[in-house]
Amino acid sequence: MSIKIRKQDALNYHTLGQPGKIEVVPTKVLSTQLDLALAYSPGVAEPCKEIANNKEDVYKYTAKGNLVAVISNGTAVLGLGNIGPEASKPVMEGKGVLFKKFAGIDVFDIEIAEEDPDEFIKIVKSLEPTFGGINLEDIKAPECFKIEKELRAKMNIPVMHDDQHGTAIISCAAMLNALEIVGKKIEKVKLVVNGAGAAAVSCTRLYIEVGMKKENIIMCDSKGVIRGDRKGLDEIKAEFATTKNISTLQEAMKGADIFLGLSVADILKPEDIQSMAKDPIVFALANPNPEIAYDIARASRPDLIMATGRSDHPNQVNNVLGFPYIFRGALDVRANEIDEAMKLAAVRALANLAKEAVPDMVMKAYQSKKLQFGRDYLIPKPLDPRLITAIAPAVAKAAMESGMATKNIEDWGAYHQELLKRIGIDQKLINRIIERARKNPKRVVFAEADNHKILKAAQVLVDEKIAYPILLGNRAKIESIIKENSLELGECKIIDPEEDQELKKKYAEVYYKKRQRKGITFLDAMRKMRDRNAFGAIMVDHGEADALVSGLTKDYPKTISPALQIIGMEPGNQSGSRDVYYSQ
């Protein structure tokens, strides 16, 4: 779905009503004189004294543990370049909005008028008492490398330059899944990187961390291939200099398995894609326009897997898939820093989530009828609510295992619920029901199992260990839908009434005995067993299932009538009441 952004719409969005996108809201009641006295003088002196005696109590009595600073000097803002700290503020406010929406993290954006890296480091280091984490943003290379490295060494709170590591983590997850789809091993593939800035360098380093061979990587900048014999190479570029006797991007592309672009628009031509190896993987991540237009690239190779930074094409590499949840996990265990183990945990969690069945609410959000792991779905969508419960715990566990955490999470179930609550999903009643169901899973027969929505619901039950689905319907159709949607329902029992004539006859006899005094013949009963609602109700009544789920494709009377005839009313219910129970 393409979204056109008009200049005036964007300006109006930022200026109408209260200017900007963020505000500070108190978290305590401020209704009475007592409230004010507790919030400020004289009551505030008590937590001040506690913190003075034990600095760690700052996490207990203030918002520090859920507060991140988004900091920039405006030297590399989006694709706009060095436009200054004031002009960077809308971006930093926007980053704060994303932190809050997706992970419930509060943010102060701080724009610093300082380009000298040493002075910048001093300023940010001095902010440590205020914040639980530091998100560096839109700082130009190579200064950004020094700034992040020194701040990580000098500060005891998580510091991450998202322009580097966010893109690296998201693209790495997508790359691992793409390689799995095409059946290539990471240690054998050839990678061409176009661009040598912060994101490109961080991506390449992370790819090496997960198994790519450095000798199989060729990095290019605006001058061409970065070679070891080039004069004047800085320390960063020298790290990726090749000894191969090639000079141009076009030469490098021949036989390449993967292209990673973090450079400029339209640098690639169709013939460059055509010169790549079988099943080429192209991550053209230049914004707003990729290194080659999506439609042109797809037309040049039918076996192409492609990702961009754009939301109007499949496989959008969007940093919002990472930074809110990485900081969430890091804050929740009070990590001293975000180390490699935590980044890799985020990569694996993101890659694994893409292989799970996609909830219908996500498909509706993206107006898509089919989202499933494959060439056009390498990584989850940004509006997938499962991201926080997949990535944050993985990062927190990695921090605990690597020794970065100063606080342990003991009850992971409670933590899961806490994460949902932070993003506004409070399911206390449902969660209690789910926990009870897990302790004693029941056999649930789905009368409309040849519908992909029903099968996805069954997959959730299996994944959450809530129940044992029994799939009722045409076996061939059910198996086809399972395969098409990459569902893992192999252990679920499938019953095809037309296929199992003996079972159909057995249930017809049960129905006949129940309804023969109502004018039903045995032949009528056999015909009735074609109705899967009746067939499923017999299963429940006969003790071969504990519950029946139906009603997606038929209206209420047709769905409930067989249950009323076969199972009957719950004792105490009045005839005609809608409060009918299907289970025994």
- Which sequence positions are flagged as catalytic? 40, 95
Separation between Cα atoms, residue 376 and residue 174, nearest integer Å: 11
Note whether 323 and 107 are within 8 A (CB): no
The tokens describing 272, both together, are 């460059």
Separation between Cα atoms, residue 450 and residue 447, nearest integer Å: 9
Burial class, 576, CB count within 10 angstroms (exposed 0-12 / middle 13-18 / buried 19+): exposed
Question: Nearest CA to 99 among 71, 139, 73?
Answer: 71
Residue 319 has what DSSP assignment?
G
Separation between Cα atoms, residue 137 and residue 162, nearest integer Å: 6
Residue-wise burial string across 436-446, b where 16 or more C-beta atoms lie within 10 A, e elsewhere: ebeeeeebbbb
Name the amino acid, one letter, at 318: N
Contacts of 476 (CB under 8 A, 6+ apart): none
Neighbours of 4 (CB within 10 A): 6
Separation between Cα atoms, residue 132 and residue 155, nearest integer Å: 11
Angle at the Cα of 346 (from 340 to 491), degrees rounded to 5? 135
Q: What is the largest CA-CA distance in the chain?
A: 98
The 3-class SS string of 54-102 reads: CHHHHHHHCCHHHEEEEEECCCCECCCECCCHHHHHHHHHHHHHHHHHH
- Name the CA radius of gyration of the chain, rounded: 29
Note whether 580 and 563 are within 8 A (CB): yes
- CA 342 from chain centre, in angstroms, equals 16
- Residue 192, classed as helix, strand or coil, is strand
CA atoms within 13 A on the CB side of 174: 35
The torsion defined by the Cα of 353, 445, 360 and 325, in degrees rounded to 10, comes to: -30
The tokens describing 55, both together, are 């600095």
Beta strands in 114-154 (DSSP E): 133-136
Residue 549 has what DSSP assignment?
E
